[in-house]
Amino acid sequence: MAAIRYPLAAHLSLQEFFTRPLRKTARPIAAADLVSPADGLVTVIGRVGSDGRLEQIKGSSYSLGAFLTCQPSSCSPGAALYYAVIYLGPGDYHRIHSSSDWLLCDRTHCPGDLFPVNPSLLKHIPALFSLNERVVLTGTWRHGFYSLTAVGAYNVGSIHLNVEPDLQTNVSDHSYGTDASGQPIAHRRRIGPMQIEKGQEIGRFMLGSTVVLVWEAPEQFTFNVIPGQKILMGQNIGSVIDDPPK
């Protein structure tokens, strides 16, 4: 509780407590290439496969293109796409921060379902992250492609973006329309280029949910976390070994 910026009595509802801000010194930002965008549980990390798929849980994967609603351009020679998934539980700090210095270019809002994203349930719904409502932020960082996606969940469809405060999520009457199969159509908007700094607050969930990072980096990139590890916003996720954290 010492990390909370305001006294408990200042939070007039559970919603205010869930979205509480922290003291500015509560989450030091590591001098690593990539830091955690949120407090939570590292559920899966890895390299995107040659088939363009990410692991959801052991034995289950999903398409990167379907998840992002776009296909990143081919990586530079000697580089690859990596990913990390952070699950925010109901008791975690609910604000989302940038995991690196990067240039934000596009926002894509993907209306969809709101299945629970608790790690114990991921094995029951294939490609769950591609089905749930989500907000995809894409752009570039010093190693190439970069994206940060906030995935909604059961009772947690509402996602607030600091960089686009007028965006409305978790509303039944979407104006985007549906495709031939009756699925909601994703809506992409150019909101950049906008320089985002590592540790900068990007938005928040109204309860808890999941953040998915996908980034391009040289093949020397090394993770500093393992699946099942609890992590705090700003802690080291990994670096290119030729440029280790101080």
Examine the residue annotation and report whether 94 is marked as an active-site residue of this protein: no
Mean pLDDT by 10 residues, the chain (246 residues): 50 52 78 96 94 82 90 86 92 90 95 77 79 92 96 73 83 60 76 94 81 96 97 96 60
**Is 39 among the residues known to form the active site?**
yes
**Nearest CA-CA partner of 48 in 27, 64, 24:** 64
pLDDT for position 28: 92
Q: Residue 108 has what pLDDT?
A: 93
Q: What is the pLDDT of residue 183?
A: 65
Are 128 and 115 in contact by the 8 Å Cβ rule? The answer is yes
Distances (CA, A) of 224 to 32, 39, 99: 10, 16, 14
Per-residue pLDDT, 6: 44
Catalytic residue among 61, 92, 97, 130: 97
Q: Which of 33, 39, 147, 160 is catalytic?
A: 39
What are the DSSP calls for 180-237, one per residue? TTSPBPPEEEEEEEEEE-TT-EEEEESS--EEEEEEEEETTEEES--TT-EE-TTSEE
pLDDT for res 235 = 97
Q: Residue 48: what residue type?
A: V
- Total-model pTM: 0.85
What is the b/e burial string over 125-149, where b = at least 16 CB atoms within 10 angstroms of the residue's CB? bebbbbbbbbbbbbbbbebbbbbbb
Bridge partners of 17, per DSSP, are none
pLDDT number for residue 166: 85
d(CA 236, CA 48): 20
Compute the distance between CA of residue 44 and CA of residue 180 in angstroms, rounded to an integer.
Answer: 33
pLDDT for residue 94 = 84
209 noted as active-site residue? yes
Domain positions in the chain are 32-240
Choose the catalytic residue: 61, 99, 130, 209. Answer: 209
Quote the pLDDT of residue 12: 43
Strands, E, within the chain: which ranges? 34-35, 40-47, 53-57, 60-63, 79-87, 95-97, 102-110, 134-141, 144-151, 159-161, 187-196, 201-205, 210-218, 221-223, 230-231, 236-240
**Distance of alpha carbon 150 from alpha carbon 136, whole angstroms:** 7
